[in-house]
Amino acid sequence: MTGYFSSPFPRRTSVGVDVGGVVVGGGAPIVVQSMTNTDTADIDRTVAQVAALHRAGSEIVRITVDRDESAAAVPRIHERLQRLGIDVPMVGDFHYIGHKLLADHPACAEALAKYRINPGNVGFKDKKDRQFGAIVEMAIRHDKPVRIGVNWGSLDQELLTRLMDDNQAKGFPLTAQEVTREAIVQSAILSAELAEEIGLGREKIILSAKVSGVQDLIAVYTELATRSNHALHLGLTEAGMGSKGIVASSAAMGILLQQGIGDTIRISLTPEPNGDRTREVQVSQELLQTMGFRQFVPIVAACPGCGRTTSTVFQELAQNIQADLRKNMPVWREKYPGVENLKVAVMGCIVNGPGESKHADIGISLPGTGETPTAPVFVDGKKAATLRGPSIAADFEKMVADYIEQRFGRGKAAAE
C-alpha cells in the first residue's frame, strides 16, 4: 500500500477542445472557469464582472444569453473587453431559445467562444432534435465548440421516463436514483452522438453532467468517463453558500480529479449578500493547487494556533502576506515568472516553527507564549536572520518582497 495515494492517477485521455485559445482536455492543464450573475444586457456591469473574474484567474467566463437584449449586448461586451486588453473566452449559456437567438444575432454567435446547450430544455417533443441541430449547425458555421451541459434539475423527461419504464419492465433491478444517474449519462452521450452525426467534430464538444449530490456527481462522472473520451467539465450544481458549498464542491471534485477525471472545473458558490463573485475562482485555484495539479499563487503555510500561541501576530502576518501575494499576482505573473511556486511559512511558536520554516523558501518562526521575543527567519532552508522588537511583521514582509525580487526578478537576471 506504500505510495498508493502518493500522487493522482494518470489523467484520463480526452480529446482536446480549443475554446477561444484556451485548450480544454487533450492533456492540457485543468482550466478554471466561472460565470457572471449580472444581467447580460447591462453592458457596464457585465464588462466589469467579466474583467474582475478574469483578473482573479478565471480562464473562461460564461454569461447568460436569455433574450434578444442579452444577445445584442454580447458583441459590445466583447469589444469593450478587447479595448481593456482583456482577451478572455466568453461562453454563451443558452436555454429554451438558443437556436433563435443565435440565428437572429449573428454578431453574438461570432463574438462568443463557445455555446452551452442544455439537452433537457433545448426543445421538447418533435422540436427537440430540430432546435438542438440548429445550434450545432450554427456552431459549425461559426467554427465554435459547444458544451453539452446536462443538469439533473432540467433533465430530459422523455428519456428519464423511458428508462424508468424499462427498469419497471425488468422488475426494478435499479433504484430510482440509479436510473436517474443513467439518464444523465445517456443524455450527455446521446446528445454528443447526435452533434457528431450533424457534423460537429469531437474536438469541438465538451460534456458536463451536473448534479447537486456529492456521491451522485462522483458516480455520474465516473461512468461518463468510462463511456466517452470527450473533454469533461466538472461542477457540482447548487452547491450552496459559504463553507458548505466549498466543502461539497471540493469533496466531489477532489475525488474525481484524483482519479484523473476532469479537464475544466467551475466551483459554483451561492454568493453571500454583497459578497465577492471572484471567490469561486479563488476556491477553484486553491483546490487545483492544493492537490498539486497547478500553481497559481505562492503558498503560505501557517500553523492553526494552540495554547502556545495566544498572540494574534502570526495570524495577522499570515493573512497579510497571503492577501498581498494574491493582490500582486496579476502583475507578478509577468514581472516575476515562476513566483507562483514560492512557499512562505508563518509559524506561531518554537514547536514546529523552525522545522516548517526550513521546508519553505522563506519562513519565520514567531515567538509563542512565554518564549524569548525573537523570530528566526529561514531562507532556502538556512537561518538567515533573527528579527526582534515591534517591527517583526513589517521586517519579515520586506524580507519576503526582497526575496521575490532577488530570486525571480532583476536579482535573478543579474546573478545569471
Q: What is the pLDDT of residues 350-372, one digit of tens each?
A: 777 788 888 999 999 887 777 67
Chain centroid to CA 118: how far?
Answer: 20
Domain boundaries, the chain: 17-290, 299-410
Binned at pLDDT 50, 70 and 90, residue 414 comes out as low
Q: Under 8 Å CB-to-CB from 136, ≥6 apart: which residues?
A: 117, 146, 194, 195, 198, 199, 200
Q: Which three cell numbers stand for residue 356?
A: 516548517
Residue 360's alpha-carbon distances to 1, 122, 348, in angstroms, are 29, 52, 15
Chain centroid to CA 187: how far?
Answer: 24
Q: Which three cell numbers stand for residue 344?
A: 512562505
Binned at pLDDT 50, 70 and 90, residue 1 comes out as very low
Quick count: other Cβ atoms within 10 Å of Cβ 77? Answer: 24
Q: Residue 4: pLDDT above 60?
A: no
Do residues 387 and 375 lie in contact, with contact meaning Cβ atoms separated by under 8 Å? Answer: yes
Compute the distance between CA of residue 368 and CA of residue 347 in angstroms, rounded to an integer: 9
* pLDDT tens per residue across span 96-131: 999 999 999 999 999 999 999 999 999 888 788 999
Dihedral of alpha carbons 277, 278, 284, 286, sign: negative
* pLDDT tens per residue across span 173-190: 999 999 999 999 999 999
Say which CATH topology domain 17-290 has.
TIM Barrel (3.20.20)
CA atoms within 13 A on the CB side of 382: 1
Dihedral of alpha carbons 316, 317, 322, 328, sign: positive
Where does 299-410 sit in CATH, by number?
A: 3.30.413.10
Compute the distance between CA of residue 116 and CA of residue 148 in angstroms, rounded to an integer: 6
* pLDDT tens per residue across span 223-239: 999 999 999 999 999 88
